[in-house]
A and B are shown apart, each in its own frame.
Chain A
Amino acid sequence: MRLASFAFGLLGLFGLSLTIAVPAQAQGTTYTTIERGRYLVNAGDCASCHTDQGGQAYAGGLALPTPFGIIYSTNITPDRVTGIGNWSEEDFYRAMHNGIRRDGKHLYPAFPYPWFTKVSRDDVSAIKAFLNTLTPVRQENRPTKLFWPLNEREVVAGWNELYFRDGAFVADPKKSEQWNRGAYLVEGLGHCGACHTATNVLGAAKTTENLKGGDFGEHWYAPSLTGHLRDGLGEWSAAEIVEYLKTGANSKSAAAGPMAEVVKNSTQYLSDSDLNAIATYLKDFPVEKTATQAAEIDKQDLSRGEALYVDNCTGCHMENGEGLTEVFPSLKASSAVQATLPDTVIHVVLAGAKAAATLSKPTGLAMPAFDRKLDDKQIADLVNYIRNAWGNHASQTDAGAVSKIRKDVENGGG
């Protein structure tokens, strides 16, 4: 109510100048289309990649490290020289639908057009209508730093040939409207699979592994969103999925790292009906047990890990690993903790983490970094304990793996 009345006051004061500030292209577009576009831009989490740390919103410039080098996100403000102010609606649709720039060159699939291709024409138009209302920012795009031959954009044509199928979302008539809405958001604009699906050596999502968990890079592992009982959403109720996406946390887990950004910039703004649709779609994946290499961990290492846990972690996560409901996340039965790769847990222990600060949970509770307090061996023991205590099961890690992640984390946050 506060925000509403405050914004209303501002509108009253500056309503006139606002209308003048809207670029020419936005004229004739209805308010509801622009607002729908704003909602969709949030749903697509455009801000997380297209805004640099400390930079102007949507002006791009954020470095996106890939195994093939660095790609910088681009300026999508309506600046006519450096942004997309000169792009027609058709140009913009081609980028979203086919991954082709206004000049006809290919976009790299770091821009998730393999997912955005499913977004309807109508929604893409609304997105463009909203982007047209942004304040133009004059900021040149930074050239990519990719290895040859990937620095040649023509290479992407071959990649597309192999891995990209354009085509709008096709509803499954056997499923409910709610399920189809969820599928449209998850597999399209939400581009969940961009992180949560394993990729092949050329960085393409493996279609057979859709949403079964993926390595985000930077030592964050995006856990399975399918029905895996241990490291997926098999044990989550639909309501828990909704709560997580709306607030950043539920009784089972709290978003950290890149997912905290997603919740903060994107999913918290989704309507309850869309969140329920997403949950309906995700909960339709069959429940399955994860084949695990049950870790054979040295008993002494485990008990050292337990001692470290009691000394360093129980204040918040409690001795039973269950944390404090609604405050500190549970480690017991957590899919992030038991994920295929231990990277997320090691990353969080080394660098700490901050929960997403959302409108409904503004606190942004944080965990401190333990990189100066615990050495590699201690962290390995601790992580092995956490991943295998209280009924948890996950693969084993060692001091060497921690050391590598420590180096990466210290050299720029992972």
Chain B
Amino acid sequence: MVTKLKSVDVVLVGFGWTASILAKELADAGLQVLAIERGEFRDTVPDFATTHIQDELRYAVRGGLFENLARETLTFRNSFDQTALPMRHLGSFNPASGVGGAGVHWNGQNWRFLPTDFNIRSHTEARYGKNFIPADMTIQDWGVTYEELEPYYDKFEYLCGISGQAGNVQGAIQPGGNPFEGPRARAYPLPPLKRSYATVLFDKAAKEVGLKPFPCAAANTSQPYKNPYGVQMGQCTYCGFCEWFACGNYSKSSPQTTILPALLPMDNFSYRTLCDVTRVNLDSTGKRATGVTYVDVQGREFEQPAELVILCAFAQHNVHLLLLSGIGKPYDPRANQGVTGRNYAYQITSSVNVFLDNNMNPFMGAGALGQAVDEFNGDNFDHGPLGFIGGGYIALWTTGGRPILQQHGAPEGTPKWGSGWKKSMQENYLKSASVATHGSVMSYSGSYLDLDPTYRDAYGNPLLRLTFDFHDNELKMSKFVTDKAALIAKAMNPRSTKINYREGHYSILPYETTHNTGGAAMGADPKTSVVNRYLQSWDVSNVFVMGSSVFPQNPGYNPTGTVGALAYWAVDAIKTKYLKNPGPLVQT
């Protein structure tokens, strides 16, 4: 029996980064807002307390903060001639469960995308000709420009208290910053983090090979900070437990450390935890959502009516819910028609390990303590003679020196086990670092999300099916950028280096990044996008979709900065346009 609840103005599915932003902004506008979260409530104290959070076995190895795959998972295959199987172990990406979402266990690497990333198709066609883009590559312009998003990037950065060095303030290139970034209105709120020794060596080496290194922008606070909501943060202690962990020191930006203290006391905001949303309910026309259905921890089913339904779950989960609810035509890869599930993409990474003479003390780290170069990202370089699209940044990160999963291995030729391996690990633990590449992945007709025909979840709903593989374009690009990384690594004067190219098929098992994108792509054309430029469903105008599921392809940067900017951009449109005149914000 379904219990029908009292209607609210806005229901948010999920209670992570985007839901927290939307909740605060819409509650400030006077609306009655409810967030429904499948995981538990979590806060810095007691859940992330420094008395227990720095536990690599519990949180990194056993994934203490990640979603429980025994309750919910997806099926995976590399191509549509294979049969997808449900995953009982995820390594490639680690979605969260619980209040704060993956915003709790991220590293804090905060980037803006390049202006040309937002109009990649028109820009590429204009610069390299229409035939430069392979036929099965389904990349598209976003429908929103960097210039339009700039004020919202700024909002997110000042929400988080980002530590960094501006590269381009209102068109003026700043020394020491990233000269390739789009113009920003003002500098970062906080100065860059203190550098690790390894990043100092990287900086020197990159300059020697003629590149322009800069400190990476970090959602790890270099100084105490108070954000525009009045919420206070401490100062990073460089403990080296950011990614896969929560911060116990109030110094990594998360919903808990930047929004919730100002949001939770509001009378017109409420949240429910341990509740799984299973459907967005539509009226008989299919053009208007009436609310959502969810199941609580006791298995009771509720209907929560709402005037506005906003999907704020993790990327794949938003797409899963759209497919289950029949919002947007499901994508058919053979006919290249339909939209929901279309343009899934991931990230492509590689690394060059360097073994040096001096101690790097890698245990003093922070999630976004890094030095990077951006010469080979996006269209910052001439792709004409290279025959691929996209690029990536090259960075040396000192995120920590955790002993189980975070050492940089041993030089080539070291035995794989036994006393020889132990001796080498002992010699190299303090004296190694890794130059990493972080590359873009384009979207293709063969990379998509749909409902699995065989496997079902605890509620009897089909699991989400992921079909994805690396394409030649990405492997070629990754090799090119990795070779550039190797040049920098060599200039660091190491005893030896070990190049780890990304080769072969994509595997869902080894960790790379939790940067899943697409499936609910945004765009200017309803034939190729699920949501319009304001992240509003083309088909059901009182449904909005947040998060990286709206990225039409995945640029060569970490996504969170853009996820935050898009959330502020969308909520601004809801407040200033939609609420005044509910209905489609873009006419077809």
Contact = CB atoms under 8 A, between A and B. Distances in A.
Contacts of B30: 5-6, 9
Interface string B264-285: 0100100000000000000000
Given A9-B30, A352-B45, A368-B45, A363 B50 contact: no
A327 B50 contact: no
A328 B44 contact: no
Contact of B51 (A362, A363, A364, A373): A373
A399 interface: no
Contacts, number: 69
A368 B237 CA distance: 16
A372 B51 contact: yes
B224 A362 contact: no
Place the interface of chain B in its size category.
20 to 34
B262 to A, nearest CB: 5
For the residues of B in contact with A, the DSSP-based class is loop
A365 B224 contact: no
Q: Which of A324, A352, A372 has the most C-beta atoms of chain B within 10 angstroms of its own C-beta?
A: A324
B224 A324 contact: yes
For the residues of A in contact with B, the DSSP-based class is loop
B45 A362 contact: no
B537 to A, nearest CB: 29
A369 B230 contact: no
B239 A315 contact: yes
Interface string B226-241: 1001111111010100
Given A369-B49, A373-B51, A327 B250 contact: yes
Interface in B217-254: 224, 226, 229-235, 237, 239, 248-250
Contact of A365 (B46, B52, B232, B265): B232
A362 B262 contact: yes
B8 to A, nearest CB: 16
A364 B261 contact: yes
Given A315-B239, A324-B234, A368 B46 contact: yes
B220 to A, nearest CB: 13
A357 B226 contact: no
B208 interface: no
B268 A325 contact: no
A357 B46 CA distance: 16
A370 B45 CA distance: 12
A239 B77 CA distance: 66
B28 interface: yes
B237 to A, nearest CB: 4
A73 B239 CA distance: 46
A99 B411 CA distance: 82
Interface string A353-381: 01001001111111111101100000000
B249 A327 contact: no
Contacts of A364: 261
B224 A363 contact: no
Contact of B224 (A327, A357, A373): A327
Contacts of A360: 230
Interface string B41-56: 0011110011110000
B309 to A, nearest CB: 23
A328 B230 contact: no
Contacts of A299: none
Interface of B: 28, 30, 43-46, 49-52, 224, 226, 229-235, 237, 239, 248-250, 261-262, 265, 268
Given A315-B249, A324-B224, A362-B230, 10 more contacts: A312-B51, A316-B249, A324-B234, A326-B224, A327-B232, A352-B46, A362-B231, A366-B43, A366-B45, A373-B51
The 3 closest A-B pairs by CB, nearest first: A368-B49, A366-B45, A363-B232
